[in-house]
Amino acid sequence: MNPFRMKKTSCILIILFALIGCKNNSKNTPEAPVKKATIYPSDVISFMDEWKILLGDGTYRDSLVNYAKENFFYVETENETNWVVYKTPNAGITSRTSSNTRTELGQKTHWTPEIGWKLTGTLKVQHVSTTGDPRVGSSYAVVIGQIHSDEGHENEPLKIYYKKFPGHTKGSVFWNYEINTKGDNIGRFDFSTAVWGHDFSVVGSSPTEYPKEPEEGIALGEEFSYEVDVHQGIMQLTFTAKDHQTFQFTKSLIKSEFATKEAIPAQVKSVYANREKGGGVERESAYANEKQYFKQGAYNQANGKSTKSETYNGNIAKQYANGSYAEVWFKAASLDPGKSSKKE
């Protein structure tokens, strides 16, 4: 046989075997999984461009459209419903005015009580710290909505809490009003109002004893809603939940109820009896003409100091693994200008 023809035939056979091998390999190679498109918090709740955020690890971000961070600010899907998750440990890096960590939105726009704004939220609390001193009002609690002053003492005319003691099935929802202290702010105090369950003043009697579980309380994972509407100096609060009574409250932010010693409620005298703060009075005009802004998310009230909660030396992974964190899910929320700021 012609050597040239033999060489040519061999080359053709090699090419054919190579092609057959490639074809067989393509059949045996599994197809790469199709990646799901990332769902961002801004896809679930559209107002994210109106907020900045501080996360529990100290991350600060003022642009939240198409932004998420694993283990702090992200989306979970449950029964085909998307929820924005706010998660924060008992110890991390927080703001200059607090010892408590937060994964919490802060409104960019500031306003006075006379102008007002409106905030709503539909949420469920999934977890609160499981360690702490039951005699301390802030133990086992998370703040899920606020009005924060940006002037004067920078106090908080509104904090909405969820709190559940270990071993209880149901927790409490309540709101606190912090006075805009007249003079030195060392005398500041909070007055607490119960919504479902107990108020802030109901605490344990010893390091190992808890108060009675609230029969009408809210369980972890149970959905509820709040609305905060400030208009012409008046704050109106509405709380709703399925199979629970609806509650509405009204509070002036421009005229104090606590301007004299005689006006200080018995609750306050009891809560602050053995504390350095709590002996002051409020200025007569309360928060009138002071700039305010909303906050929403998870502001963890547990820490290693006042509540003596476990922090694992600030190791966030260990805190998450051992129940030392707060986690709040929102499925809906809205932010609107106050009635006084809208054009007639």
Q: Is 298 domain-assigned?
A: yes
**CB neighbours of 280 closer than 8 A, spacing ≥ 6?**
179, 181, 182, 183, 184, 185, 186, 187, 188, 189
Determine contact, residues 173/192, Cβ cutoff 8 Å.
no
Choose among 25, 16, 102, 108: nearest CA to 58.
102
What pLDDT digit, counting tens, does each position of 37-50 carry? 899 999 999 999 99
For residue 188, the SS3 value is: coil
Q: Is residue 135 situated within a structural domain?
A: yes
pLDDT at 30: 62
Domain holding 99, by residue range, is: 48-341
Cα Dmax for the chain: 121
- Encode pLDDT of 47-103 as tens digits: 999 999 999 999 999 999 999 999 999 999 999 999 999 999 999 988 776 789 999
Q: State the pTM of this model.
A: 0.89
Q: Is the dihedral of CA 194, 133, 100, 129 positive or negative?
A: negative
Residue by residue, DSSP assigns 23-39 as HHHHHHSPPPPPPPPPP
Q: Both tokens of residue 201? A: 């003043």
Residue 229 lies in a domain: yes
Give the C-alpha separation, 134 to 140, whole Å.
8
What's the total number of domains in the chain? 1
Mean pLDDT of 179-204: 96
Residue 26 resides in a domain? no
Domain membership of residue 52 (yes or no) is yes
Q: What's the chain's length in residues?
A: 344
* Residue 23 falls inside a structural domain: no
Q: Which amino acid is at 245?
A: Q
Q: Which two tokens stand for residue 314?
A: 């600030």
pLDDT of 19 > 80? The answer is no
Answer yes or no: is 72 within a domain. Answer: yes
Q: Which CATH number covers residue 256? A: 2.60.120.200
Q: Is residue 6 part of a domain?
A: no
